[in-house]
Chains A and B, each alone.
Chain A
Amino acid sequence: MSTTGTTTPRSVATAPRAQEPAGRLRALLRRPAARRLLPLAAAGAVLAPLAHVLWGSEAWPDALSVSLDGPLRSAGDWIVDNRDSHWLFLYFFGYVSAGLIAAVHAVYVVLLALGWAGVTAGAALVAWRAAGVRAGVTALASFAVCGLLDMWVPTMRTLALMVVAVVASVVVGALLGLAAGLSERAFRVLRPVLDTMQALPAFAYLLPVVLVFGIGVAPAVLATVVYAAPPMARLTALGLRSTDRGVLEAVESLGATPRQRLLTARLPMAREQLLLGVNQTIMMALSMAVIASVIGADGLGDRVYQALSTVDVGAALAAGIPIVLLAVVLDRTTSGRTSRAVVPRGGTSARTRTATTWALGLAAIAALALTVPDTWPRSWTVRIARPVNQAKDWLVDHLYTGLPGIGGTADWAAHYTGWIVDPLRDTLQGLPWWAALLLVAALARAIGTWRTTATAVAALAAIGVMGRWTTAMDTLSQVLAAVAATLVLGFAVAVAVARSARTERLLRPVLDVFQTMPQFVYLIPVVALFGVGRAPAAAAAVVYALPAVIRIAGEGLRAVSPGALESSRSLGATGRQQLLQVQFPLARPALLLAVNQAVVLVLSVVIIGALVGGGGLGYEVVFGLARGDLAVGLVAGVSIACLGLMLDRVTQPTKGAHDAR
């Protein structure tokens, strides 16, 4: 898709930074980044006037756009007309779909047969054996709460879908990762693909699968797999490629065959990365499984989606809590293994003991499954929707407008839109198109390679070629404003976290919860607080992206060597000087990574923000999904992908760094 962008002469471009004051210029020139920008500046100085003369200096010129409406519409019609007769659907997609449905059905039937007691006990047993007593208790309590909230059946449906999606993602991801880890050529091919997928908002995936498979569980599982497999592939490849050469040579000199080398040396040594990959895949699958309710995935996501259509924050929360609990349980259970990996394998007695525990545990689960009735007892449920809604109404009544001194949330929303986003949008939309490309090239080149620069520029150009320039600039302005807000807040909190271990301990569980909450749940309270429009979308985006920023920046700041801090203090630096001149520069890689994450996460929510009036590209995707209009939805989806790719490349500091999320 982005290759269409290379038809423009803009692949090489420049920095408009040349008119800086001379003193600073010289200082800048001493830095390698500035020196790298020089060739760009030269190329831009030649090409920009040329572009201006040929195509003018407004938004993207029509002469360089290609309308895909016609072909896409007929492709969409063709698929709908041939879906029940063409061999491609009958003999390929049909099997894929049937297989997925059968798998989900099988898992669901097993879960139902186990009953609530069996499932709860089973989850507790697995969590306990995998990650310790605390994880076991967490699992037990979490499943009990799901039942208490009267969400047992939806939880089981989501769990069934998740099990199938995660297994498929891990298998697909591990196979791709294995190929990339063992073959240099496969790695070179896969890497940009995986990088790109990492930056794509979940919403962009939905329309193509819906078109081929219709709505339902099968397309939901597929969209989830496409979204969740890349981290597994990345981390598998990373783990295999970072195997210690010395060990490999030693194994080889012992005469091991390639297969033995892989199974006995490389895979075991990549164990930590593989487990991290599984963990990330699970977390991403869960977040996608919720969004996929838009295309007919049943379960908890559907409950949230339905609650949103009646502005029922309480009911949305009742379905949102089980999602968070599932996330916490899955996260604790799978990340707990990493630390246990160092425990040496015990002798025979330890192994028999483990076997006995499992046997006893399984027997107990079987007994529970057989004796306790399958459905969660109705009298044991708690309805939280009403009190939650009352609390929300109270908050809205008291915060919406007319707070003395600071105004209400409605006023903030108006100021945010009128003073920040609108001017920014008008600036971006008024920017000559070649200047936008130059700016992107300069930003990307300043911290990246020629290749990332070319990708960023090509991605932005592709948006123009597809005729979505103005809309994309609207979305971009929302992203930039929200990212700025996120970074200011995030870095401030991160500094506090880095200074005090107690703040960190207090904040950690809060951050955990916020990071795993489905984006959907955020949308309605922000509408109540900020009205409809771009402000609520931004608020949701900031809340969603903050935890990652705080965590990464906080860890980076804390990792600054105490020695450096100590010596700066002995030189008489004030707290402020220390922060700005020692901590921030030393933590630069982590801070850049935080920026990168903020951009990617904010974009994903700004897109979903179309559901609350955010407009822009997200609105076109919603429109496309709602009307089954491939021409609008797919082009917007691809534009979002390009925008995400561009933003990622512009903010991606060094290769490989953003694997550590």
Chain B
Amino acid sequence: MRAKHLAAAAAAFGLLALTGCGAADMTKQGSPYADAAGAKSVTLSVQSWVGARANAAVAQYLLEHELGYRVDTVQVDEVPAWDALSQGRVDAILEDWGHPEQEQRYVRDKKTVADGGGLGVDGHIGWWVPKYFADAHPDVLDWRNLNKYAAQLRTPESGGKGQLLDGSPSYVTHDKALVKNLNLDYQVVFAGSEAAQITQIKQFAKDRKPFLTYWYEPQWLFNEVPMVEVKLPPYTDECAAKGDKDPDSVDCAYPTSRLKKYLNAGFARKGGDAASFLKKFRWTKRDQNEVAQLMAEDRLSAEDAAERWVKRHPDVWKEWVA
């Protein structure tokens, strides 16, 4: 009897699949919360670092208040965000730090993602020490002298070596390879998330303890904990080419990269005002830091921080919505 039921169910399902509505393409399925009250809606991907949240906050505010869209934001890590963008789960990434493999796959091969132009901000990754430590020991700023300070930078997590504090595993990093290839007496310790890393840095700064950390610019934390970059062997094209082939062989600094925007290809074509607004969205490091600091340090909600910036700088955004 049960077999009969099963067969009936299978037949019904099969019929439904074949006659009912044909293929169910997952790339055409948006968020169930989108367009709920009949509004036009845009979904932005927000990455976990605060700069990316600042971009999204201002874009959201202007889309909602100037262009009449409803905006949803989803927090996703960088690589999955590309995937989501390609599937149309999100419409735009506003700050990408360079993912050559994904660009090749989605922009050039599958053509499901479209280039959205530059953000206007240059990003730079490097190793940094607090200013108070660099002032007391100026020679720490050359990587060749780092081993001299390893003992001072020891922590319970670094197992007898100096600690190089890294953040979220999702960020672009070759630190393990660098430590190995430059023969540094350091242990890479992953804080696990940027939040944890910031907490740890602030805690160190409060006690004026020395530390060495993977960090990046632009970042609002510099306003609060002044840091100075440690010089690594200079970045060269040969080194980059070597690193592309074998990531474990990298032995030079990180490049300075132009941060870019990417849109879902369908959205870029048919997204109307929202798409053209996001393509034109372009500001400076100072603008971004202003919003980021309002959010992360003054603890304003994303909306309040964006509102404050929008009131102060109409000259910057007027042309985006024109």
Contacts and interface: CB of A to CB of B under 8 A. Distances in A.
Interface residues of A, number: 76
Given A524-B199, A532-B200, A615-B190, A385 B299 contact: yes
A160 B34 CA distance: 13
A95 interface: yes
B177 interface: no
Contacts of B26: 83-84, 89, 93-94, 97-98, 213-214
A524 B203 CA distance: 13
B156 A414 contact: yes
A29 interface: no
Interface string A619-639: 100110111110000000000
A574 interface: no
A97 B30 CA distance: 10
A111 to B, nearest CB: 10
Contacts of A614: 192
B299 A389 contact: yes
A112 B203 CA distance: 43
Contacts of B169: 619, 622-623, 626-627
A310 B207 contact: no
A418 B165 CA distance: 18
Nearest to B46: A306
Contact of A625 (B31, B77, B196): B77
Nearest to A217: B32
A528 B26 CA distance: 41
Contact of A610 (B80, B81, B192): B192
Contact of A311 (B25, B159, B198): B198
Contact of A534 (B80, B157, B194): B157
- Most B Cβ at <10 Å: residue of A385, A528, A613, A623: A613
Contacts of A613: 157, 189-192, 196, 200
A338 interface: no
Interface stretch (B83-91, B135-143, B230-238): B83-91
A612 interface: yes
Contacts of B27: 83-84
A626 B74 contact: no
B72 A298 contact: yes
Interface string B5-38: 0000000000001000001111101111100110
B31 A612 contact: no
Interface in A580-636: 609-615, 619, 622-623, 625-629
Contact of A310 (B29, B30, B81, B296): B296
Most chain A CB atoms below 10 A, which of B46, B77, B112: B77
B79 interface: yes
Interface in A72-108: 80, 83-84, 89-91, 93-95, 97-98, 101-102, 104-105, 108
A622 B81 CA distance: 15
B157 A625 contact: no
Interface in B152-193: 155-157, 159, 165, 168-170, 189-193
A217 B195 contact: no
B317 interface: no
SS class of chain A's interface: helix, strand, loop or mixed?
helix
A389 B300 CA distance: 12
B29 A626 contact: no
A243 interface: no
A215 interface: yes
Given A84-B26, A108-B32, A302-B75, A619 B192 contact: yes
A535 B155 CA distance: 13
B193 A612 contact: yes
A622 B156 contact: no
Contacts of B72: 298
A531 interface: yes
A626 B17 contact: no
A104 B23 contact: no
B29 to A, nearest CB: 5
A101 B29 contact: yes
B197 interface: yes
B240 interface: no
A306 B24 contact: no
B78 interface: yes
Contacts of B199: 311, 524, 527-528, 532
9 contacts: A216-B74, A298-B31, A298-B72, A302-B74, A311-B195, A532-B197, A613-B157, A615-B192, A627-B79
Q: A-B pairs with the 7 shortest C-beta distances? A: A94-B24, A626-B170, A105-B32, A90-B23, A623-B169, A104-B32, A417-B156
Interface of A: 80, 83-84, 89-91, 93-95, 97-98, 101-102, 104-105, 108-109, 112, 157, 160, 210, 213-218, 293, 295-296, 298, 302, 305-306, 308-312, 314-315, 385-386, 389, 400-401, 410, 413-414, 417-418, 422, 523-524, 527-528, 531-535, 609-615, 619, 622-623, 625-629
Interface of B: 17, 23-27, 29-33, 36-37, 46, 48-50, 53, 72, 74-81, 83-84, 87, 89, 105, 112, 155-157, 159, 165, 168-170, 189-200, 203, 207, 295-296, 299
